[in-house]
Structure 1
Amino acid sequence: MKLFSLTYNELVKQFKKPSIKLLSILILVAAIIFPIAINSIPENRYYKSTMESNKFLLQDAELYLESLKDDKTQKGKIKFEYAMINIEARKLYVENEVGHRDWREKEIENYRNVSSNLAAIEFVLEGYEKDIVLENLQNDDSNEVEKYFNMTLAKKKEIESNFIAEKEKIKNIILNNDYIAHTQEEINRTNSQIAQLNSCISEYEKLMKKNPTDEAGKSKLLELEKKSKDAKIRIPQLQQDMEVMKFRFDNKIDYDLNNWKNNSIQQIENELIELRNPMLDEKQYSSQASLEGVEMTYDEYVKNFNKKREVTINQIKELWYGLENNITVLNQIKDARSVLDGGYEIFVVLAVIMVIIIGGGIVATEYSKGTIRLLLIRPVSRWKILLSKLLAVLIVGIGVVFIGIATLYISTGVVFGFETYKTPLLDTISGSIVHLSYIKFLLSKIMISCSSLVFIATLVFLISTVAKNTALAVAISMMLYLGAVPATDMLISLKQTWIISTFIPYINVSYLRLIPSTQQMLSQSFGMQLEYTQGAIQLILISIVMLLITFITFIRRDVKN
């Protein structure tokens, strides 16, 4: 009962401080405003800058065209035609407001390429000199264009007619914003690529049966063998891409960045690209590691590569499962779950800062003011006095975390809808996809993040008690908390990946999650993952050791005048 009374009195004393009151109010206000601010951010935040860039490029293209008007040579006319094609493409960007990550961007580039193809055949039809045409081609295969010169007029006209029809078809897709037609065209283009690759394989197999003995035949066979091997690797990849495109087409899924199904499909496409990165053999890895100064054995590389591959495969499975069962995967759209998941760490950071402010002076101030003697003459054990102060610090820190997150939960639900919280999370366990409660998942992440809070609370408490210096306790704790991740990043950039096996990176788990640059660096450069649970366990164990030192020092210390 005395311990409860001491803790209560300590809490009352701390919350009488204006700075603590102000910080508490700011935390609550932040929890209310955060989802409103996030909701006001446009999904395509680069739209405005992209529009300005397109207008600038159009003006630049028009100025270039003006400079070519007086050149009436065949070379000048060719350059003029290509400049006109560039302007036409730029006008499509500007007039149709095609921004960043817009599917129409791809169609405009297709339109530009077909326009260049059309221009090439028209140069031939207009009787331009062969050498001049071939020397000044843009975006065209000179070998293909060279063939035009030997074709009949009827064949040339046929090719021209096909390019005109293709150009008009693409333009209509862009102007009508016909995303379904775009997806169908993507499917057709992929089918065409697969057909070409199969043709290459067939050509190789036919020539292999003939078993040519002349040098030209052998050389051709070796060339086709290499192309055939590449084709056999590429075809399954294109078939995977086709499966994704067909799902989009069959389900009429648009390319809106606010559509979670579109975002899931795009992530599947990105994960498939990641999955296709081949594992290096020992010789290749040794060469690359030597060049980049990587301090990691080949066995470690293989282990990390396979682990990363497994994560990627599971991610693809979960995304497909979500699409097929109409379950939104976390962070695929701006909803209550995703906003809460992306913002709760802010309140852990604010709680840690409050803990440093309170913990830095909670014991040291008693010594500096001389009130420690009044505390110790009470009929209460020293350990209870110290424990009450520690509990006050932890209650404030953990209380700020849960009150801040609870307020954020409510405000986010109000802004984005509470029904989102009922959507289960998807996870892969033993090869099977299971449904998880979002709230349970969130609580487990909060507990791991709070390991940082407990560590910093015990650290600042230790310094405040042992050194009896508020400024020192605050400065060291703040420096360690804010500097842990930058120090980790610096060591990783120097290939010192051993650092992630220590507790140091996890001192500020919230920073690691809010700004995932450390994880990205590890993943891209080394195929490694941060072990948050392992880091949390280390922090808790070290915190226990620091508490033992703190209590033993306080209990045995004499209080001198």
Structure 2
Amino acid sequence: MFNLILNENMKIYRKVSTWIMIALIIVAVILFGVILKIEDKQNIEEPDWKVSLQQQNAQLEKDIAEGYMPEQFVQMQERTILINEYRLENETPPMTKSVWSFTLEATPVIALITLFTIIVGASSVASEFSWGTIKLLLIRPVSRTKILLSKYLSTILFALFCLLILFVISLAVGAILFGFDGFAQPYLTVIDGVVVEKTMLAHVLGQYGLSSINLIMMSTFAFMISSIFRSSALSIGLAIFLMFTGVNVTSFIAMKFDWAKYILFANTDLSLYLEGMPVVEGMTMSFSITMLIIYFVVFNALSWWMFNKRDVAA
């Protein structure tokens, strides 16, 4: 089994496109850091952060009172007001730019990693059939299940490797550009209407950890599509389309129907629970984890069934 996984990893990392993807992740983090640094220099420092927060709260309360905003936006504004009030009452100034704040702000790059992993996972099985190399794999004295598992594990390892690169590069770029000022500042969030303090390290690791779950689920979905369809282009195109539209469509459905909570994309972003803002009101992390386990089992079962059923004699 180890040799099969090693062989699949060699296939992945021998490709020039793989290293281009990794380079793009690094470049994206560096460019993002430079842009934030330039913006940080251009910002005029507030003479008094307390006055600034008081003015912001007054404006937010006025916007809420006008009643033109959707309920979800109202909740976001109310959360901001609670956090601002907590800062004022506890003499806790807003976060300053630091290595941890930048590492946290760089998490949107995970979407790029997800995209690259979809490409790797969606082409993993489909390309073998497209190029006819699947026959060379199946003549080995190993079961189809082990072959499929090695491909799946290699895809997941690629995703986690890219996530590790993102974390390390973000720390390095953040330290170089913003230093370690504000290292001990707490991260504030609202859970069940109460402001909660967390250490930045715990919050950053939590964000990356929960994002890895979303990454694995999307990788598993792409891998399933690859096992079902023979075309790499179709597999990649369908997976990417659903990646970019799934969350938005689910959020729209969730505004009208409670059954939206059973849709995959309503449960993939577990980081929302760190902020106390599930897609559908009343959802819990345990519910989302249960749904993800169900989808995970179904995706892998379909991948295994289709791969073992497919006739490659022709």
TM over 0.5: yes
Alignment partner, residue 14 of structure 2: 16
Which whole-Å deviations, capped at 9, do the CAs of 1:326-354 have from their partners, x for residues lacking one?
x444xx444443333222122x1111111
Residues 268 and 292, structure 2, Cα contact 8 Å, conserved in 1: no
Alignment partner, residue 88 of structure 2: 320
Alignment partner, residue 160 of structure 2: 398
Alignment partner, residue 338 of structure 1: 101
Which whole-Å deviations, capped at 9, do the CAs of 1:359-404 have from their partners, x for residues lacking one?
1211112122222222122222322211111011111112112211
* TM-score (structure 2 length as normaliser): 0.79
Secondary structure of 1:41 counterpart: helix
Secondary structure of 1:458 counterpart: helix
Between the aligned partners of 1:258 and 1:4, the Cα distance in structure 2 is 60
2:88 partner amino acid:
W
Q: 1:508: Cα distance to partner? A: 7.3
Between the aligned partners of 1:488 and 1:431, the Cα distance in structure 2 is 25
Alignment partner, residue 294 of structure 2: 541
Q: 1:6: Cα distance to partner? A: 1.5
Alignment partner, residue 256 of structure 2: 496
Query: Superposition pairs for residues 151-166 of structure 1, below 5 Å?
Result: none
Alignment partner, residue 31 of structure 1: 29
Give the greater-gyration-radius structure (CA): 1
Query: Superposition pairs for residues 218-257 of structure 1, below 5 Å?
Result: 256-257=45-46
Query: Superposition pairs for residues 39-438 of structure 1, below 5 Å?
Result: 39-41=37-39, 256-257=45-46, 261=50, 263-270=52-59, 273=62, 277=65, 311=79, 314-323=82-91, 327-329=92-94, 332-346=95-109, 348-427=110-189, 435-438=197-200
- Distance verdict in 2 for CA 1:36–1:306, change over 3 Å: closer
Q: 1:533: Cα distance to partner? A: 7.4
- Distance verdict in 2 for CA 1:452–1:433, change over 3 Å: closer
1:496 partner amino acid:
K
* TM-score (structure 1 length as normaliser): 0.47
Secondary structure of 1:559 counterpart: coil
Matched, 1:476 2:238: yes
Which whole-Å deviations, capped at 9, do the CAs of 1:171-194 have from their partners, x for residues lacking one?
xxxxxxxxxxxxxxxxxxxxxxxx
2:263 partner amino acid:
F
- Distance verdict in 2 for CA 1:365–1:538, change over 3 Å: same
Which whole-Å deviations, capped at 9, do the CAs of 1:25-63 have from their partners, x for residues lacking one?
121122233212111025777xxxxxxxxxxxxxxxxxx
Matched, 1:444 2:206: yes
1:465 partner amino acid:
S
Alignment partner, residue 123 of structure 1: none
Residues 462 and 549, structure 1, Cα contact 8 Å, conserved in 2: yes
Which whole-Å deviations, capped at 9, do the CAs of 1:212-262 have from their partners, x for residues lacking one?
xxxxxxxxxxxxxxxxxxxxxxxxxxxxxxxxxxxxxxxxxxx94486555
Between the aligned partners of 1:551 and 1:388, the Cα distance in structure 2 is 12
Q: 1:434: Cα distance to partner? A: 5.3
2:135 partner amino acid:
R
> Which ranges of structure 2 fall in alignment gaps of 5 or more residues?
none
Between the aligned partners of 1:261 and 1:43, the Cα distance in structure 2 is 21
Number of aligned residues: 310
Residues 186 and 199, structure 2, Cα contact 8 Å, conserved in 1: yes
Which whole-Å deviations, capped at 9, do the CAs of 1:282-325 have from their partners, x for residues lacking one?
xxxxxx9xxx9x9xxxxxx9xx99988984674245323442xx
Residues 506 and 536, structure 1, Cα contact 8 Å, conserved in 2: no
Between the aligned partners of 2:167 and 2:12, the Cα distance in structure 1 is 22
2:111 partner amino acid:
V
Q: 1:550: Cα distance to partner? A: 0.9
2:299 partner amino acid:
M
State the superposition RMSD in angstroms: 4.1
- Distance verdict in 2 for CA 1:308–1:361, change over 3 Å: closer
- Distance verdict in 2 for CA 1:357–1:425, change over 3 Å: same
Residues 336 and 418, structure 1, Cα contact 8 Å, conserved in 2: yes
2:303 partner amino acid:
T
Between the aligned partners of 1:555 and 1:506, the Cα distance in structure 2 is 31
- Distance verdict in 2 for CA 1:531–1:415, change over 3 Å: farther
Secondary structure of 2:209 counterpart: helix
2:112 partner amino acid:
L
Secondary structure of 2:142 counterpart: coil
Between the aligned partners of 1:544 and 1:344, the Cα distance in structure 2 is 27
1:318 partner amino acid:
Y
1:319 partner amino acid:
R
2:151 partner amino acid:
K
Between the aligned partners of 1:389 and 1:461, the Cα distance in structure 2 is 9
2:6 partner amino acid:
Y
Alignment partner, residue 227 of structure 1: none
Between the aligned partners of 2:120 and 2:304, the Cα distance in structure 1 is 18
1:315 partner amino acid:
I
2:305 partner amino acid:
I
Alignment partner, residue 129 of structure 1: none
